[in-house]
Chains A and B, each alone.
Chain A
Amino acid sequence: MKYLPLIWSALFRRKTRTAFTIVSVIAAFLLFGLLYSVRAAFTSAGHSIAGASRLITMSKESLIVSLPTSLLIRIQSVPGVTAVTYANWFGGYYQDPKNQLVAEAVAPNYFDLYPEFVLPAAELRAFHQTRTGAVVGESLAQHFHWKVGDRIPVQATIFPQGNGSNTWTFDLVGIYHVNDPSLKGQEGALFFNWDYFDKATQFGGGMAGWYIERVAQPKDADSVARSIDAISANSDHETKTQSESAFQASFVGQFANIGLIVGGIMAAVFFTLILLTGNTMAQAVRERVPELAILKTIGFSNRSVLSLVLAESVLLLGLGGIVGLLLSGAAVSGIRAKLGPLIPMLPVTAHTWLDGIALAVVIGLVVGVLPALRGMRLRIVDALSGR
């Protein structure tokens, strides 16, 4: 700590240059926080503790190909399977096409397999008893100011009703929440009764989008998955059973490889940042060669000079990183408040902070190492005489 004033003053020796560099670091870490939040929202689905013991069975061809509901009983009989439920993607929008929903028709026992969705018992009962009943996540309810008792008209984009209408009206009977902050992205869904969907839809009756199985032992998941897929082998509806996280990854992968896109953007941003801050540090040390020589003259060791320059570099990145992450936290909160669950974003968590700070430290060390070595190796006599 006693060296902090020395490091601080060296960092702000050229105030304008340092300020511009810090602004660019802030921008990079703001982007990091935002992209991290999006990626976490996409990858968090299925990563709950309960998710470790869940399998998903879908058509081997594609998720958009349905499976017969007659499979239910046969899957239930597979050894190692303790419970089975099923669901179908519905989608749709509320009032305006830009208000796209994550809506699914789910079997009555769906919430038994998702204990992370916390729903009061009375509301779950009401869901079971109300044919047109729907349950929504807290984030979604807050965004549209919905409350239990509201009637919610949803415009179908894939499944018109048998009478040709695209409007499905649901009675909101419950609002669930999740306790784990990393799963908050899952509070953006609307679930409604399978019976309503199955009877009212124009097509697809008796067909489910996917099955969800709970297995007794997660370690047996692979063998159970093989047994489930064996049921439909060589039929016209062959299945592919996989862990929930693998399923979520393939589901998200239908839209785009979010991880690759986010990773690519981050890599480009941080590569540019390394060049920029590296140049700043190199310039800063080049200008201060006589000053570093003086520090050595009065007794600072080579290692001390190396540490001072590295600390300066880490401080530069750390300051920008902290401010950038703070801003990203505020930006994510703002975006979530404005757009709600329509944009999948998780709050900036301690995990984001840890990764962000670690990244700042690593980049700080990377960009500081060459200038620091130069400072460490300089010969006092040469540096003082301007050679």
Chain B
Amino acid sequence: MSPLVEIRNLSKVYTRGRQKIEVLHHVNLDIAPGDFLALMGPSGSGKTTLLNLIGGLDSPTDGTIAVAGRRIDQLGQSELARWRAAHVGFVFQFYNLLPMLSAARNVELPLLLTKLPAAERRRHAAVALELVGLADRAAHKPGELSGGQQQRVAIARAIVSDPTLLVCDEPTGDLDRQSAVEVLTLLQRLNREHGKTIVMVTHDPKAAEYASHTLHLDKGTLVESAQAAEVAAR
């Protein structure tokens, strides 16, 4: 089976003043369709940068990224925005919901970019909220929800347009253990029952256990399991 995400010789260099910082160094990675991949590594290892590049939020300095056969490193800003709207769902550590909108309106946001009529958009949003177990909280604003519930609304927003790929950056980093388990179980269910391909960055080895496999990054490079154990021990 050909990989859904195909990364070759990917490098990313940031310039801070006169200083150049190489965050990713010739990374090669394949992610199969239906995979649930956890990316682990110490702070500054390049996990979030890699995730941002896979999600089309940033452009590489060098190398290629293809998702479902499409070279996203070659897309311009507008094309990339359209591609993200159609193919990627995002879940962040701090939920990033719009505080003045209800849960349903937050979930509906990505659908505003489609040609769906209002009634269809509302129906899709209701289904997504149902899927994350928050149908009864549709009218609530984020401030009226717990952290775990807000993250589930964020997941509903991420899946409402039925994207090819879910990218999650520390989705449980701001949650208590119980809420974290709920969110991770939900992600696992989306992967197993709905076939969603998920790439998740996490610091938490317990969170990584929910993924089908884990990769480690250190100093911008993917490392083997043995090295990873050494890194983790450090």
Residues of A within 8 A of B (CB): 2-3, 5-6, 9-10, 12-13, 290-291, 294-304, 380-381, 384
Contact = CB atoms under 8 A, between A and B. Distances in A.
Contacts, number: 67
Nearest to A295: B109
Contacts of A298: 84-85, 90, 109-110, 113, 157
13 contacts: A2-B118, A5-B105, A6-B105, A6-B112, A13-B100, A291-B99, A297-B57, A297-B90, A298-B84, A298-B90, A300-B113, A380-B52, A381-B58
Contacts of A300: 81, 85, 113
Contacts of B175: none
B77 interface: yes
B120 to A, nearest CB: 11
A289 to B, nearest CB: 12
Given A294-B96, A299-B86, A6 B81 contact: no
B92 interface: yes
A299 B57 contact: no
Contacts of A381: 52, 57-58
B52 A299 contact: no
B113 to A, nearest CB: 5
- In which size bucket is the chain B interface? 20 to 34
Contacts of B157: 298
Question: Lowest 9 A-B CB distances belong to which pairs?
Answer: A299-B85, A9-B100, A301-B81, A294-B96, A298-B110, A13-B100, A299-B84, A380-B57, A381-B58
B109 to A, nearest CB: 6
A212 to B, nearest CB: 62
A384 B94 CA distance: 10
Nearest to A302: B77
A298 B90 CA distance: 7
Contacts of B99: 13, 291
Contacts of B82: 299, 301
Nearest to A303: B78
B98 interface: yes
Interface in B73-130: 77-78, 81-82, 84-86, 90, 92, 96, 98-101, 105, 109-110, 112-113, 118, 121
Nearest to A11: B100
Given A2-B112, A299-B113, A294 B81 contact: no
